[in-house]
Structure 1
Amino acid sequence: MQNWFECKVSFEKVMENGIQKRTTESYLVDALSFTEAEARIIEEMRPFISGEFTVSAVGRKKLSEIFFNENGDRFYKIKVYFITLDEKSGAEKKTAVQMLAQASNLKEAIAVLEDGMKGALADYTIASVTETQIMDIFPFKANKESETKDE
């Protein structure tokens, strides 16, 4: 099971009009602890940010699944209810889970979720879909690609 942490990174960003403005962006990192999440986000962000930056917050995110879509530029949080039947009472039981879908718009986010859930055996309903402020996701890579040494 993956442990996801939302990391907020603050840095000086050059705006379109040339003015520098302090901004904070959210990223999602797969890590085992808060300390590892902070170290990973620093490692991932260092090549992209010139100048100083700080990790202003690290918080655990409970996500049961993330559906990636290379055409999407935003991440949508989707609350899904899995519907099961209680064998003893015969009553319907709903279990809420949070998922993320990468998409360009709300309609595409639902389509990405439904495509990813095709193989699911349990019945489910979508309770809500909201756009998040997450800029990018950094899953754990078991095999880090070694750089070639052709010199």
Structure 2
Amino acid sequence: MKNNSFFKWCFLSILIVFLIFLYIQMNSTTYILQPNSERKVIIKGNSESLDSVISVTITSKTDDGKIKLICGDSWVDTKEDVHYNIITSQIEKWNYDSSSGKRTVMILQNPLNGIKVDEEGISINTPKDITFSFQSKKDFTVRIKNLSDKNVSVEVNVVYR
């Protein structure tokens, strides 16, 4: 009888540890990418209001590597007011003149501060911590691809405003 209860206790303990591990993995925002592998991250659309903004922060935790972010036609870094235009493969600085009410666009060098844009997406040299903003009512998928020859660790955090 003691043996039977011992096996039940062991089985239950292993099951609990497995479920905790599974829960942590499913809710983790850190991804370890092997060379030339990619991970799809689904971002839920924000339908609270017309002015809703989705901020996606990409934090690379690897000292040396390169990742590519693939999604849509444009990535916007609102801190720097820089637009990464995928269609034209250009990095653009948008300026607004409040006195004239006009917006001007200045083309910047490509790559800029370790970030390069091409017709597929944007490539980022790691380590880097950058936040991009999106406005979307629909869900969308960001593909994160490891372009380096070693493992890369990337954390993705999404904030809805």
Task: Name the TM-score, length of structure 2 as normaliser.
Answer: 0.22
TM-score (norm 1): 0.23
Q: Highest Rg: 1 or 2?
A: 2
